[in-house]
Amino acid sequence: MSRYHAVVWLDHTEAHVMHISRDEVEKFTAHASDKHPHLHHKRGSTGAGHRGEDAAYFGEIVKLLDGAHEILLVGPGSAKLELVKYVHKHHAPMADRILGVETADHPTDAQVVAHAKQYFIAKDNMLGKASGLR
């Protein structure tokens, strides 16, 4: 299967990485090393209330994106933006391949793939090039 287009739905606990072509979808899943991402602070405690970067989790997502030339990131919270920062810091050549970052609650994988296909087709139409997804 060609690995030209990929979409990732992610939150702080898991990521669904899908390589898509016109007729096929290849799906992978990555899981965060900490299954309980929410921090609870007691009154008077120090700290910003944010988790640190989960390098192992983001590194696994990057590995699963190997070969993708155009990437769309979607998800409900800040994990997608944290992944973008991680990519810029640790895998800079991949940063230019991330074409979009969008908010999406908890759609099914099929809904994510359908949205990604529409996204990539519209982008290709704007640039005047043929899309491999039609």
Q: What would the pLDDT profile of 86-130 be if each residue is shown by its tens digit?
A: 999 999 999 999 999 999 999 999 999 999 999 999 987 887 777
**Where exactly are the structural domains of the chain?**
5-32+52-127
CATH of domain 5-32+52-127: 3.30.420.60
pTM of the model: 0.84
Res 128: pLDDT: 73
- Say if residues 7 and 20 touch (Cβ distance below 8 Å): yes
Res 3: pLDDT: 72
- Say if residues 17 and 29 touch (Cβ distance below 8 Å): yes
Res 22: pLDDT: 86
Residue 27 has pLDDT above 80, yes or no: yes
Res 134: pLDDT: 61
Res 25: pLDDT: 96
d(CA 99, CA 122): 12
Res 133: pLDDT: 74
Q: What is the pLDDT of residues 36-88, one digit of tens each?
A: 544 444 555 555 555 557 999 999 999 999 999 999 999 999 999 999 999 99
